[in-house]
A and B are shown apart, each in its own frame.
Chain A
Amino acid sequence: MKHLLTTSFLVAAATSAAQAQQQGGRLDIVVQPEPPSLMLGLVQNGPTQMVAGHIYEGLLRYDTELQPQPSLAESWEISEDGLTYTFNLQDDVVWHDGRPFSAEDVVFSADTFLRETHARLRVSLAYVESITAPDDNTVVFQLSEPFGPFINSFEAGTMPIVPKHIYEGTDYANNEMNATPIGTGPFKFEEWVKGSHIHLTANEDYYLEGKPYLDEVFFRVIPDAASRAVAFETGEVDVLPGGSIENWDVARLMEEDDVCSTGKGWEFLAPHSFMWMNNREGPTADPRFRQAVMYAMDREFVRDVVWNGFGKVATGPVSSRTNFYTDDVTDYSHDPEKAKALLDEMGYDGTPVRVLPLPYGETWQRWAEAVKQNLQEVGIEVEIDSADVAGWNQKTSEWDYDLAFTYLYQYGDPALGTARNYIESQIEKGSPWNNVEGYRNPELDAKWAEAAVTFDRDERQKLYTEIQQEIVEDAPVAWLLELEFPTLYDCSVQDLVTTAIGVNDGLRDTWIEQ
């Protein structure tokens, strides 16, 4: 069953584009799990971003090389000292309710609304002294220090621009309009049938001529992973975003005719998996034990078997897909003998360690089993712990674990995605997004701080290389894989993934070959 509706016609092919985009059609795409809300300024979890990233927009988008591209901002300029960011906005932008969009909306969103609601953006905004609108089409961010990754803070999930006329002076969380989100994006909110689907329709007044190409998009809620795979096979849905089905189904479906896949679209998030090792107590407090864990694990095996070949062995705290990565660090290839020697040297007494898997399905369970087997081979006693999502949050954020699986998004820059897991000021109970392992290294803390506010790229690279080299030697956590979540789609779908956050903001450019 295919959902190709309406007649198709070619957009006037005035340009010499290689392919002419075809107008029209409907796209069905899986969203998993069902988002709690579509108000992107209030909720930024994965499913919310995927749907609401087409309703709301940021000032910029990023291509798959993490280079900034125009979105609500048509052009931008950064002063030479890295302190002044000036954005020129697109003309003729209107909100979905017909009200004109202006620089005032940007100032309100960044300076008032998001400062209160967006925990992740607050980190960047701490370096921002003022946000002003000299005229209706210009916004100026004035920084107190040249925060290096600031240019990476403008995509829709990080800095969504919300309508001032709807939210100013209201209680944001309880605003009735949260149920019917109003943005500037290429698609408008039409209907949400809870437990079934979310329906978006093309924004006819969109400021880019001819876009979007699709008439409508249905985000389908299918709670069972096996059922999602079947829904794709029967043509009920056209797109399975990365991570929506189990790995063995990905490998199976990729073999089928008319099924296309891409690993792109995850460059900005670059999910980086590792195990926290409790640096405070037990055997994991000894660096030699932690190094032994690194040598004991056969990460290639896990990549090839548990992850069906998807992903890349992580060499250290920074993902190879992120800026300022280096591979010039200690090599922890699978070496059980080295692991045993380290354990002997420290005098490991056989105290069992608990391993807490991520409660995200079968793959993670199997991964924990594989790690258990590897560790037992070098003589480490292992018990596998278990918890649901809320329990996992509780255990990790209260530091009640020995080894705990997790993965962190990198957000394109070590200062945004990586530093928070290794600096001392981020040791604080109650959140699973900080220095949960309890690693303390004051010397490195100073380097992290310096690197964050260095504007020169070469200078930053030098600092981050030093940091990576030292931290890898200490092994405060056990780095596992740079995760890869291929997106599967029907081959008639074109230009699905063109940005660094893929299907979270890409449907603006997507079209269906009819």
Chain B
Amino acid sequence: MAIASTVLGRLLKAAITLLAIVVLNFLLIHAAPGDPAAVMAGEAGAADEKFIAQLRERFGLDQPLHVQLWNYVSNILQLDLGYSYRQGAPVLDLILERLPATLLLTLTAFGISLLFGVAMGVAASARVGKLGDSAITGVALLFYATPLYWAALMAVLVFSVWLGWLPGFGYETVGADYTGLARVLDILKHLILPAATLGLFFMAVYTRMTRASMLEVAQMDFVKTARAKGLPDKVIRRRHILRNALLPVVTLAGLQAGQLVGGAVLTETVFAWPGIGRLMFESLEARDYNTLLGVFLISAAMVILFNIVTDLVYRLIDPRIGATR
């Protein structure tokens, strides 16, 4: 019951936050110089007043800002994300078209980084001060410090250009028309480089965090007690130390999960991955207001959602949290 009412309360607050975000985003975007009509006129290679006025009217930009805002917010309240005049399609369709590719990429990267990060952190903490520990922390530090853009280009250069093992671009082989298992394998091959690149940074963060947290918890009294009881080392490590050491890792994982939709702009750009991040960036360049606001809204909703999920996971790992309420 306590959980249900907490979740309800959080959802209500979330809705209000989202509405505030919508309004704020709207105002911020309109404060940026230029508008979609001017950008399209700029691309046309020639334009006269009539042409730009036509575009503004078609996009509804000829109305006062507060009217535009009101129209937008009332559409959002009816769950209508609006229409992209630039691309000639409803915003929701544009987003849904790109969402699977992005989720595939970001979820894979999320899984890889969490799994390997925690495993490496645990392994390092078990060998603290020894060669294995130094190797793992060294690699983690390297990944942590490498700029994503550079790592991505190097990965393409090494694995795609020099070795020719993996495709460097895109989501699948264009024009190959694979079906069934062949298609799945093809997509997996294309997924490896971008997912690994995207996952590197967070993997390093998880490794370092898990290791530090494990070492800290290992000093605590209840661990000594467990050891005094004669429990095997493995059990202590898994049930007593790891479980308690995971809380800060979960916090970070919640942060990373919040970026599942909008956090892969660079990776998608370098690997020509047809995802949401690129849609967002290109919409920004073109001042495609509705599309941009739509992506922002979905990203914001994801952040809020995963904040709530993170809180719930805390309770699962540490039942003391929330028990006092």
| Contact A431:B49 (CB < 8 A) given known A195-B278, A223-B269, A234-B168 | yes
Q: A207 to nearest B CB, angstroms? A: 27
A319 within 8 A of B: no
Q: B33 to nearest A CB, angstroms? A: 4
A120 within 8 A of B: yes
Are A431 and B47 closer than 8 Å at their CB atoms? yes
Q: Which residues of B contact A37 (CB under 8 A)?
A: 87-88
Q: Which residues of B contact A173 (CB under 8 A)?
A: 58, 88
Are A388 and B175 closer than 8 Å at their CB atoms? no
B282 within 8 A of A: yes
**A28 CA to B287 CA, complexed, in Å:** 30
Q: B54 to nearest A CB, angstroms? A: 8
Are B48 and A431 closer than 8 Å at their CB atoms? yes
Are B47 and A391 closer than 8 Å at their CB atoms? no
**A433 CA to B38 CA, complexed, in Å:** 11
Are B98 and A195 closer than 8 Å at their CB atoms? yes
Closest B residue to A227 using CB positions: B270
A390 within 8 A of B: yes
Are B34 and A394 closer than 8 Å at their CB atoms? yes
A418 within 8 A of B: no
Are A431 and B169 closer than 8 Å at their CB atoms? no
Are B174 and A119 closer than 8 Å at their CB atoms? no
B321 within 8 A of A: no
Interface set, chain A 216-237, CB cutoff 8 A to B: 216, 218, 220-224, 226-227, 230-231, 233-234, 236
B160 within 8 A of A: yes
Q: Which residues of A contact B49 (CB under 8 A)?
A: 428, 430-431
Interface set, chain B 23-71, CB cutoff 8 A to A: 32-35, 38-52, 58
Closest B residue to A391 using CB positions: B33
Q: Which residues of A contact B35 (CB under 8 A)?
A: 390
Are B175 and A391 closer than 8 Å at their CB atoms? no
B97 within 8 A of A: yes
Are A393 and B42 closer than 8 Å at their CB atoms? yes
Are B285 and A390 closer than 8 Å at their CB atoms? yes
Within 8 Å by CB of A388, from B164, B278, B285, lies B285
**A222 CA to B169 CA, complexed, in Å:** 8
Q: Is the interface of A mostly helix, strand, loop or mixed?
A: mixed
Q: A388 to nearest B CB, angstroms? A: 6
A413 within 8 A of B: no
Are A390 and B287 closer than 8 Å at their CB atoms? yes
Closest B residue to A388 using CB positions: B285
B271 within 8 A of A: yes
Closest A residue to B174 using CB positions: A197
Interface size class of chain A, counting residues whose CB lies under 8 Å from the partner chain? 35 or more
Q: Which residues of B contact A11 (CB under 8 A)?
A: none
Within 8 Å by CB of A224, from B38, B58, B174, B269, lies B269
Q: Which residues of B contact A208 (CB under 8 A)?
A: none
B86 within 8 A of A: yes
Within 8 Å by CB of A221, from B97, B175, B272, lies B272
Interface set, chain B 220-274, CB cutoff 8 A to A: 268-274
Within 8 Å by CB of B38, from A221, A233, A393, lies A393
B317 within 8 A of A: no
Q: Which residues of A contact B46 (CB under 8 A)?
A: 119-120, 123, 420, 433
Interface set, chain A 197-212, CB cutoff 8 A to B: 197, 199
Q: Which residues of A contact B139 (CB under 8 A)?
A: none
A397 within 8 A of B: yes
Closest B residue to A48 using CB positions: B43
Closest A residue to B45 using CB positions: A409
**A458 CA to B175 CA, complexed, in Å:** 53
Within 8 Å by CB of B34, from A43, A174, A234, A390, lies A390
Closest B residue to A42 using CB positions: B88
**A194 CA to B47 CA, complexed, in Å:** 27
**A221 CA to B174 CA, complexed, in Å:** 11
Closest B residue to A397 using CB positions: B38
Are A224 and B272 closer than 8 Å at their CB atoms? yes
Q: Which residues of B contact A188 (CB under 8 A)?
A: none
Are A234 and B160 closer than 8 Å at their CB atoms? yes
Q: Which residues of B contact A366 (CB under 8 A)?
A: none
Are B161 and A44 closer than 8 Å at their CB atoms? no
Q: A256 to nearest B CB, angstroms? A: 12
| Contact A433:B47 (CB < 8 A) given known A173-B58, A395-B33 | yes
**A120 CA to B33 CA, complexed, in Å:** 25
A34 within 8 A of B: yes
Within 8 Å by CB of B156, from A28, A45, A123, A227, lies A227
Q: Which residues of A contact B41 (CB under 8 A)?
A: 119, 393, 431-433
**A224 CA to B267 CA, complexed, in Å:** 10
B157 within 8 A of A: yes
**A196 CA to B275 CA, complexed, in Å:** 9
Chain A CB within 10 Å, residue with most, of B48, B164, B282, B286: B48
Are A227 and B87 closer than 8 Å at their CB atoms? no
Query: Would you give the 0/1 interface string for A417-451, flagging 1 where the beta carbon is closer than 8 Å to chain B?
Result: 00010000000101111100000000000000000
Q: A9 to nearest B CB, angstroms? A: 21
Chain A CB within 10 Å, residue with most, of B35, B97, B270: B270
Q: Which residues of B contact A197 (CB under 8 A)?
A: 170, 174-175
A166 within 8 A of B: no
Q: Which residues of B contact A434 (CB under 8 A)?
A: 48
Are B168 and A195 closer than 8 Å at their CB atoms? no
Are A227 and B286 closer than 8 Å at their CB atoms? no
**A36 CA to B88 CA, complexed, in Å:** 8
Interface set, chain B 185-234, CB cutoff 8 A to A: none
Interface set, chain B 285-309, CB cutoff 8 A to A: 285-287
A2 within 8 A of B: no
**A222 CA to B174 CA, complexed, in Å:** 12
Interface residues of A (CB under 8 A from B): 3, 26, 28, 33-34, 36-37, 43-46, 119-120, 122-123, 173-174, 178-179, 193-197, 199, 216, 218, 220-224, 226-227, 230-231, 233-234, 236, 387-395, 397, 409, 420, 428, 430-434
Could you list 29 A-B pairs, sorted by A, with CB under 8 Å? A36-B88, A36-B286, A45-B40, A119-B48, A122-B48, A123-B46, A173-B88, A174-B88, A194-B94, A195-B101, A195-B279, A196-B174, A199-B174, A199-B175, A221-B274, A223-B282, A227-B168, A230-B156, A230-B168, A231-B168, A231-B169, A388-B285, A389-B285, A389-B286, A390-B33, A391-B32, A393-B38, A431-B49, A433-B47
Top 6 nearest A-B pairs by Cβ distance? Answer: A195-B274, A390-B34, A120-B46, A45-B43, A119-B51, A394-B33
